[in-house]
Amino acid sequence: MNIKDEIRLWKEKKDAVILAHYYVEPEIQEIADHVGDSFALSKIAANLPNPVIVYCGVSFMGESGVLLSPDKKVLMPDAKADCPMAHMVTKAEVDEARAKYDDLAVVCYINSTAEIKSWSDVSVTSANAVQIVKNLPNKNILFIPDRNLGRFVAAQVPEKNVMLVKGYCPIHEVISPTEIAELKAAHPDAEILVHPECNAEVTAMADYIGSTTGIINYAAKSDKKELIIGTEVGVRYELEKQNPDKTFYFPRTTPVCHDMKLITLEKVLHVLKTEENQASVLEEQAKAAGNTLTRMLELAK
């Protein structure tokens, strides 16, 4: 029996479901029951009947799974897999903004710890951030922690006063406009599709700016046969699976989230067998943090 068959066997034994982010390795996406970006996976996690969820992603995703499904066991194949941006805001920054503005809404990117969510009013993903900020009654918005996604949202909702902190995704932030320009020069007919976590110079060059799922959907509908992709390289697997007739180019300094790549088949099998690395959220944070996700799902309908 090979390891994939063994995973399937243990998954049936435990009545487990495997969720995987697009940024994990292709062999993990292949064995997953559901593959998606943070928004898609959060919606799926909220409605699963299975008692055990194996979350192939980083720690904030496991926490979100616990918050949305507190009665389930959420298992993380690698407990060390984390997101640096998920920690890039302080309570002092949030408190300062709340003291300054009576009608402030603290809008928290889902790529954040449960603690940071507990300081906030609503969570968002890159797929729904613009819609949710538009739908909020508040004029003043503190967007945390990603300044790049926050800048993108602010441009779409000029009627709001959107304030930013200094957080960023290390992988998207360093995607080079020079390298994107090199690819465009080599492939002048190619469209440029980038994630809003990219820096301003890169998003200014884009034909399309959107979430991981948005990029995948745009690429499938595009009549172009060549596309330049400005996001984490793990998305290549789904892009090529859906579009075997198209060619995708990534920057030569390949955007790789090493934390996502910590997830392996061996680790998935191990947690299915042992139920180790169970995700958890502190009791004093759970209610407030969970409310931000519930509100997100309501406002994004």
CA 68-257-3 angle, 5° bins: 75
Amino acid at 58: V
Q: What is the pLDDT of residues 154-183, one digit of tens each?
A: 999 999 999 999 999 999 999 999 999 999
Q: Is the peptide bond before 170 cis (omega within 30 degrees of 0)?
A: no
pTM listed for this prediction: 0.94
Element (H, E) at 54: strand 52-56
Q: Are 289 and 117 in contact (CB under 8 A)?
A: yes
Question: What is the pLDDT, as a whole number, of residue 98?
Answer: 98
Mean pLDDT of the chain: 96
Q: What is the pLDDT of residues 50-63, one digit of tens each?
A: 999 999 999 999 99
280, pLDDT greater than 90: yes
Token digits for 168? 């960023």
Question: What is the pLDDT, as a whole number, of residue 300?
Answer: 84
Q: What is the pLDDT of residues 139-151, one digit of tens each?
A: 999 999 999 999 9
Q: What is the pLDDT of residues 124-139, one digit of tens each?
A: 999 899 999 999 999 9
- Of 45, 42, 59, 39, which Cα lies nearest the Cα of 17? 45
Q: What is the pLDDT of residues 241-253, one digit of tens each?
A: 999 999 999 999 9
